[in-house]
Protein backbone atom coordinates (compact mmCIF):
# COMPACT_ATOMS: atom_id res chain seq x y z
CA UNK A 1 0.00 0.00 0.00
CA UNK A 2 2.85 2.35 0.87
CA UNK A 3 4.50 1.74 -2.49
CA UNK A 4 1.24 2.35 -4.37
CA UNK A 5 0.61 5.66 -2.58
CA UNK A 6 4.18 6.78 -3.25
CA UNK A 7 3.74 6.07 -6.95
CA UNK A 8 0.47 8.07 -7.00
CA UNK A 9 2.18 11.11 -5.44
CA UNK A 10 5.05 10.97 -7.92
CA UNK A 11 2.70 10.54 -10.86
CA UNK A 12 0.70 13.53 -9.63
CA UNK A 13 3.73 15.85 -9.73
CA UNK A 14 4.70 14.62 -13.20
CA UNK A 15 1.16 15.06 -14.51
CA UNK A 16 0.73 18.52 -13.01
CA UNK A 17 3.99 19.61 -14.61
CA UNK A 18 2.83 18.28 -17.98
CA UNK A 19 -0.57 19.96 -17.58
CA UNK A 20 1.12 23.28 -16.84
CA UNK A 21 2.63 23.09 -20.34
CA UNK A 22 -0.72 22.20 -21.92
CA UNK A 23 -2.38 25.13 -20.12
CA UNK A 24 0.47 27.44 -21.19
CA UNK A 25 1.42 28.15 -17.60
CA UNK A 26 4.97 26.83 -17.88
CA UNK A 27 8.05 28.99 -18.47
CA UNK A 28 10.00 28.64 -21.74
CA UNK A 29 11.83 25.37 -22.35
CA UNK A 30 15.28 26.87 -21.74
CA UNK A 31 14.13 28.16 -18.35
CA UNK A 32 12.70 24.75 -17.43
CA UNK A 33 15.96 23.06 -18.43
CA UNK A 34 17.89 25.49 -16.23
CA UNK A 35 15.54 24.89 -13.29
CA UNK A 36 15.98 21.13 -13.62
CA UNK A 37 19.77 21.46 -13.60
CA UNK A 38 19.77 23.75 -10.55
CA UNK A 39 17.32 21.68 -8.50
CA UNK A 40 19.05 18.44 -9.49
CA UNK A 41 22.36 19.74 -8.16
CA UNK A 42 20.66 20.82 -4.95
CA UNK A 43 19.24 17.31 -4.49
CA UNK A 44 22.61 15.64 -5.15
CA UNK A 45 24.36 17.99 -2.73
CA UNK A 46 21.78 17.37 -0.01
CA UNK A 47 22.01 13.61 -0.40
CA UNK A 48 25.80 13.69 -0.36
CA UNK A 49 25.79 15.80 2.80
CA UNK A 50 23.30 13.44 4.46
CA UNK A 51 25.55 10.45 3.80
CA UNK A 52 28.60 12.20 5.22
CA UNK A 53 26.94 13.75 8.26
CA UNK A 54 24.95 10.75 9.51
CA UNK A 55 26.92 9.00 12.31
CA UNK A 56 24.50 6.06 12.29
CA UNK A 57 25.63 5.08 8.81
CA UNK A 58 29.28 5.26 9.83
CA UNK A 59 28.59 3.06 12.87
CA UNK A 60 26.88 0.43 10.72
CA UNK A 61 29.77 0.24 8.31
CA UNK A 62 31.93 -1.62 10.84
CA UNK A 63 29.53 -4.52 11.37
CA UNK A 64 27.67 -5.03 8.13
CA UNK A 65 29.51 -2.80 5.69
CA UNK A 66 31.23 -5.57 3.74
CA UNK A 67 28.01 -7.52 3.14
CA UNK A 68 26.15 -4.32 2.20
CA UNK A 69 28.92 -3.20 -0.15
CA UNK A 70 29.09 -6.61 -1.85
CA UNK A 71 25.30 -6.67 -2.17
CA UNK A 72 25.06 -3.22 -3.73
CA UNK A 73 27.97 -3.70 -6.13
CA UNK A 74 26.82 -7.20 -7.06
CA UNK A 75 23.31 -5.98 -7.78
CA UNK A 76 24.59 -3.12 -9.90
CA UNK A 77 27.00 -5.33 -11.82
CA UNK A 78 24.34 -7.93 -12.51
CA UNK A 79 21.90 -5.24 -13.60
CA UNK A 80 24.36 -3.66 -16.02
CA UNK A 81 25.25 -7.05 -17.53
CA UNK A 82 21.66 -8.24 -17.98
CA UNK A 83 20.22 -4.90 -19.14
CA UNK A 84 23.15 -4.45 -21.52
CA UNK A 85 22.66 -7.93 -22.97
CA UNK A 86 18.93 -7.34 -23.46
CA UNK A 87 19.53 -3.95 -25.06
CA UNK A 88 22.07 -5.34 -27.52
CA UNK A 89 19.69 -8.21 -28.32
CA UNK A 90 16.82 -5.80 -29.00
CA UNK A 91 19.09 -3.72 -31.22
CA UNK A 92 20.15 -6.81 -33.18
CA UNK A 93 16.54 -7.95 -33.65
CA UNK A 94 15.59 -4.55 -35.00
CA UNK A 95 18.27 -4.46 -37.67
CA UNK A 96 16.85 -7.11 -40.05
CA UNK A 97 13.49 -5.32 -40.11
CA UNK A 98 15.09 -2.02 -41.01
CA UNK A 99 14.19 -0.40 -37.73
CA UNK A 100 16.65 2.07 -36.29
CA UNK A 101 17.87 1.80 -32.76
CA UNK A 102 15.60 3.58 -30.32
CA UNK A 103 17.10 6.92 -29.44
CA UNK A 104 16.06 8.71 -26.31
CA UNK A 105 16.80 12.07 -27.86
CA UNK A 106 19.18 14.74 -26.75
CA UNK A 107 19.22 15.43 -23.07
CA UNK A 108 21.97 17.11 -21.15
CA UNK A 109 24.45 14.68 -22.55
CA UNK A 110 23.38 12.97 -25.81
CA UNK A 111 22.49 9.74 -24.04
CA UNK A 112 24.01 6.67 -25.59
CA UNK A 113 26.38 8.42 -27.98
CA UNK A 114 29.92 7.16 -27.82
CA UNK A 115 31.65 9.08 -30.55
CA UNK A 116 35.30 8.16 -30.19
CA UNK A 117 36.35 11.49 -31.65
CA UNK A 118 34.97 13.33 -28.63
CA UNK A 119 37.68 13.83 -25.98
CA UNK A 120 37.08 11.98 -22.73
CA UNK A 121 36.92 15.09 -20.54
CA UNK A 122 34.52 16.85 -22.90
CA UNK A 123 32.24 13.83 -23.22
CA UNK A 124 32.09 13.28 -19.46
CA UNK A 125 32.24 16.93 -18.38
CA UNK A 126 28.67 17.01 -17.09
CA UNK A 127 28.87 13.68 -15.22
CA UNK A 128 32.14 14.73 -13.62
CA UNK A 129 30.56 18.01 -12.53
CA UNK A 130 27.64 16.17 -10.93
CA UNK A 131 30.05 13.79 -9.23
CA UNK A 132 31.97 16.79 -7.89
CA UNK A 133 28.77 18.11 -6.26
CA UNK A 134 28.19 14.80 -4.49
CA UNK A 135 31.80 14.41 -3.36
CA UNK A 136 32.06 18.01 -2.14
CA UNK A 137 28.84 17.68 -0.14
CA UNK A 138 29.93 14.29 1.23
CA UNK A 139 33.26 15.72 2.40
CA UNK A 140 31.47 18.70 3.93
CA UNK A 141 29.23 16.34 5.88
CA UNK A 142 32.22 14.34 7.09
CA UNK A 143 34.19 17.41 8.18
CA UNK A 144 31.35 19.03 10.08
CA UNK A 145 30.21 17.62 13.43
CA UNK A 146 26.90 15.71 13.28
CA UNK A 147 24.20 18.36 13.03
CA UNK A 148 21.28 16.05 13.68
CA UNK A 149 19.33 17.55 10.81
CA UNK A 150 16.34 15.68 9.43
CA UNK A 151 16.85 16.10 5.71
CA UNK A 152 14.02 13.73 4.77
CA UNK A 153 11.38 16.43 4.37
CA UNK A 154 13.68 18.76 2.42
CA UNK A 155 14.77 15.90 0.15
CA UNK A 156 11.15 14.92 -0.49
CA UNK A 157 10.10 18.42 -1.52
CA UNK A 158 13.16 19.00 -3.69
CA UNK A 159 12.42 15.68 -5.38
CA UNK A 160 8.78 16.65 -5.91
CA UNK A 161 9.88 19.94 -7.46
CA UNK A 162 12.25 18.06 -9.75
CA UNK A 163 9.51 15.72 -10.95
CA UNK A 164 7.22 18.69 -11.54
CA UNK A 165 9.81 20.31 -13.82
CA UNK A 166 10.62 16.96 -15.45
CA UNK A 167 6.93 16.65 -16.27
CA UNK A 168 7.20 19.99 -18.02
CA UNK A 169 10.28 18.85 -19.91
CA UNK A 170 8.87 15.72 -21.44
CA UNK A 171 5.60 17.48 -22.26
CA UNK A 172 7.50 20.25 -24.04
CA UNK A 173 9.46 17.57 -25.88
CA UNK A 174 6.25 15.91 -27.06
CA UNK A 175 6.94 12.60 -25.29
CA UNK A 176 4.02 10.15 -25.03
CA UNK A 177 3.55 7.51 -22.33
CA UNK A 178 1.32 5.62 -24.76
CA UNK A 179 4.16 5.32 -27.27
CA UNK A 180 6.55 4.23 -24.52
CA UNK A 181 4.18 1.41 -23.51
CA UNK A 182 4.55 -0.08 -26.99
CA UNK A 183 8.34 -0.26 -26.79
CA UNK A 184 9.94 -3.52 -25.64
CA UNK A 185 12.32 -1.61 -23.36
CA UNK A 186 9.42 -0.68 -21.05
CA UNK A 187 9.12 -4.28 -19.84
CA UNK A 188 12.60 -5.56 -20.72
CA UNK A 189 14.50 -3.02 -18.59
CA UNK A 190 12.78 -3.70 -15.22
CA UNK A 191 12.75 -7.45 -15.88
CA UNK A 192 16.49 -7.51 -16.70
CA UNK A 193 17.15 -5.25 -13.69
CA UNK A 194 15.36 -7.65 -11.37
CA UNK A 195 17.06 -10.75 -12.80
CA UNK A 196 20.50 -9.10 -12.71
CA UNK A 197 20.05 -7.90 -9.14
CA UNK A 198 18.81 -11.27 -7.89
CA UNK A 199 21.57 -13.14 -9.73
CA UNK A 200 24.09 -11.60 -7.33
CA UNK A 201 22.45 -13.49 -4.47
CA UNK A 202 23.83 -16.77 -5.80
CA UNK A 203 27.36 -15.44 -5.24
CA UNK A 204 26.60 -13.70 -1.92
CA UNK A 205 25.02 -16.76 -0.27
CA UNK A 206 28.09 -19.04 -0.22
CA UNK A 207 30.61 -16.24 0.34
CA UNK A 208 28.84 -14.82 3.42
CA UNK A 209 27.26 -18.08 4.60
CA UNK A 210 23.70 -16.89 4.03
CA UNK A 211 20.74 -19.12 3.19
CA UNK A 212 19.84 -18.53 -0.45
CA UNK A 213 16.41 -17.21 0.49
CA UNK A 214 17.92 -14.56 2.78
CA UNK A 215 20.41 -13.54 0.11
CA UNK A 216 17.61 -13.20 -2.45
CA UNK A 217 15.55 -11.14 0.02
CA UNK A 218 18.58 -8.88 0.53
CA UNK A 219 18.88 -8.31 -3.22
CA UNK A 220 15.13 -7.85 -3.79
CA UNK A 221 15.14 -4.29 -2.43
CA UNK A 222 16.26 -2.99 -5.85
CA UNK A 223 17.50 0.23 -4.24
CA UNK A 224 14.43 0.96 -2.08
CA UNK A 225 16.30 1.21 1.23
CA UNK A 226 13.47 2.80 3.22
CA UNK A 227 11.26 -0.28 2.76
CA UNK A 228 13.39 -3.37 2.20
CA UNK A 229 15.41 -3.00 5.40
CA UNK A 230 12.28 -2.49 7.49
CA UNK A 231 10.57 -5.49 5.90
CA UNK A 232 13.48 -7.84 6.62
CA UNK A 233 13.89 -6.55 10.17
CA UNK A 234 10.16 -7.04 10.83
CA UNK A 235 10.42 -10.58 9.44
CA UNK A 236 12.84 -11.45 12.25
CA UNK A 237 16.39 -10.64 11.13
CA UNK A 238 17.39 -7.13 12.32
CA UNK A 239 21.04 -7.60 11.33
CA UNK A 240 20.13 -8.55 7.76
CA UNK A 241 17.60 -5.72 7.77
CA UNK A 242 20.36 -3.25 8.62
CA UNK A 243 22.50 -4.74 5.85
CA UNK A 244 19.58 -4.36 3.41
CA UNK A 245 19.09 -0.75 4.42
CA UNK A 246 22.74 0.12 3.92
CA UNK A 247 23.12 -2.00 0.76
CA UNK A 248 20.20 -0.30 -0.97
CA UNK A 249 21.33 3.13 0.21
CA UNK A 250 24.78 2.42 -1.24
CA UNK A 251 23.18 1.24 -4.49
CA UNK A 252 21.25 4.48 -4.79
CA UNK A 253 24.38 6.52 -4.08
CA UNK A 254 26.46 4.52 -6.58
CA UNK A 255 23.70 4.88 -9.18
CA UNK A 256 23.82 8.66 -8.81
CA UNK A 257 27.49 8.48 -9.78
CA UNK A 258 27.19 5.85 -12.52
CA UNK A 259 24.05 6.99 -14.36
CA UNK A 260 25.62 9.94 -16.23
CA UNK A 261 28.47 7.70 -17.39
CA UNK A 262 26.27 4.75 -18.37
CA UNK A 263 24.08 7.11 -20.39
CA UNK A 264 27.04 7.71 -22.71
CA UNK A 265 27.79 4.06 -23.43
CA UNK A 266 26.46 1.67 -26.09
CA UNK A 267 23.99 0.39 -23.49
CA UNK A 268 22.30 3.60 -22.26
CA UNK A 269 19.32 1.69 -20.81
CA UNK A 270 21.74 0.40 -18.17
CA UNK A 271 21.49 3.90 -16.68
CA UNK A 272 17.81 3.21 -15.98
CA UNK A 273 18.55 -0.26 -14.62
CA UNK A 274 21.23 1.10 -12.30
CA UNK A 275 18.61 3.28 -10.63
CA UNK A 276 16.50 0.23 -9.82
CA UNK A 277 13.36 1.17 -7.94
CA UNK A 278 14.59 4.77 -7.67
CA UNK A 279 14.33 5.24 -11.44
CA UNK A 280 10.82 6.56 -10.83
CA UNK A 281 11.86 9.19 -8.28
CA UNK A 282 15.33 10.00 -6.90
CA UNK A 283 17.37 9.07 -9.98
CA UNK A 284 14.68 9.96 -12.56
CA UNK A 285 15.85 13.58 -13.05
CA UNK A 286 19.44 12.39 -13.49
CA UNK A 287 18.31 9.77 -16.03
CA UNK A 288 16.33 12.41 -17.88
CA UNK A 289 19.34 14.71 -17.98
CA UNK A 290 21.57 11.99 -19.39
CA UNK A 291 19.16 10.26 -21.78
CA UNK A 292 16.73 13.02 -22.69
CA UNK A 293 13.00 13.57 -22.01
CA UNK A 294 11.97 10.48 -24.01
CA UNK A 295 13.55 8.31 -21.31
CA UNK A 296 11.09 9.48 -18.65
CA UNK A 297 8.19 7.08 -19.40
CA UNK A 298 10.48 4.02 -19.60
CA UNK A 299 12.39 5.00 -16.46
CA UNK A 300 9.25 5.75 -14.47
CA UNK A 301 7.59 2.50 -15.54
CA UNK A 302 10.73 0.53 -14.65
CA UNK A 303 11.02 2.11 -11.21
CA UNK A 304 7.31 1.70 -10.51
CA UNK A 305 7.23 -1.99 -11.47
CA UNK A 306 10.32 -2.73 -9.37
CA UNK A 307 8.94 -0.76 -6.41
CA UNK A 308 5.65 -2.65 -6.51
CA UNK A 309 7.55 -5.96 -6.54
CA UNK A 310 9.61 -5.20 -3.40
CA UNK A 311 6.86 -5.79 -0.78
CA UNK A 312 5.98 -9.04 -2.59
CA UNK A 313 9.43 -10.50 -3.35
CA UNK A 314 11.21 -9.67 -0.06
CA UNK A 315 8.83 -11.66 2.20
CA UNK A 316 8.52 -14.38 -0.44
CA UNK A 317 12.27 -14.99 -0.67
CA UNK A 318 12.82 -14.54 3.06
CA UNK A 319 10.43 -17.40 3.74
CA UNK A 320 12.20 -19.86 1.43
| Poorest-pLDDT segment among 72-81, 149-158, 262-271 | 149-158
pLDDT of residue 70: 92
Q: Is the pLDDT of residue 112 over 90?
A: no
Mean pLDDT of 201-217: 93
| Poorest-pLDDT segment among 8-22, 64-78, 112-126 | 112-126
Count of CB atoms within 10 A of residue 318's CB?
A: 20
What are the tens digits of pLDDT across the range 298-314?
888 888 888 878 878 88
Mean pLDDT of 217-232: 82
Q: Quickly state the pLDDT bin for 37 (edges 50, 70, 90).
A: confident
- Average pLDDT score, the chain: 78
- List the Cα angle 52/280/304 in 5-degree steps: 125
What are the tens digits of pLDDT across the range 157-200?
887 787 788 778 777 766 555 666 667 888 899 999 999 999 99
Q: Which of 309, 304, 285 is nearest to 6 (CA)?
A: 304
Checking 27-36 for CB contacts under 8 A at 24+ apart, the result is 29/169, 29/172, 32/165, 32/168, 32/169, 32/172, 33/169, 35/165, 36/162, 36/165, 36/166, 36/169, 36/285, 36/288, 36/289
Q: Quickly state the pLDDT bin for 152 (edges 50, 70, 90).
A: low
Q: Indicate the pTM of the whole model.
A: 0.68
Helix (H) or strand (E) holding 93: helix 55-94
Q: Is the pLDDT of residue 100 over 50?
A: no
Which residues make Cβ contacts (< 8 Å) with residue 45, sequence separation at least 6? 133, 134, 136, 137
pLDDT of residue 192: 95
What are the tens digits of pLDDT across the range 229-288?
777 877 778 778 778 877 888 888 888 888 988 988 889 999 999 999 888 877 888 898
pLDDT of residue 122: 55
Q: Is the pLDDT of residue 118 over 60?
A: no
Count of CB atoms within 10 A of residue 312's CB?
A: 11
Q: Compare 96 and 87 and report the one with higher pLDDT.
A: 87
The per-residue b/e assignment along 55-82, b for 16 or more CB within 10 angstroms, e otherwise, is eebeebeeebbebbbbbbebbbebbbbb
Q: Quickly state the pLDDT bin for 226 (edges 50, 70, 90).
A: low
Q: Quickly state the pLDDT bin for 49 (edges 50, 70, 90).
A: confident
Q: Quickly state the pLDDT bin for 128 (edges 50, 70, 90).
A: low
Amino acid sequence: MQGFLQILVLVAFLVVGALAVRLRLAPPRKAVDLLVRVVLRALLALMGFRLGNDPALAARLGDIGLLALASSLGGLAGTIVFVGAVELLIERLRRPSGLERTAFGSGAGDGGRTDGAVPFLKRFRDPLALLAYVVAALLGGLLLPPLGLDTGLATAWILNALLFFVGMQFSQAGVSFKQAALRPETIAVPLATAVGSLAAAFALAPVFGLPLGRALALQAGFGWYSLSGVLIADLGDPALGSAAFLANLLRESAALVLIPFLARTRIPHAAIGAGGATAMDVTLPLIEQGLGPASVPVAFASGALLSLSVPVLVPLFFGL
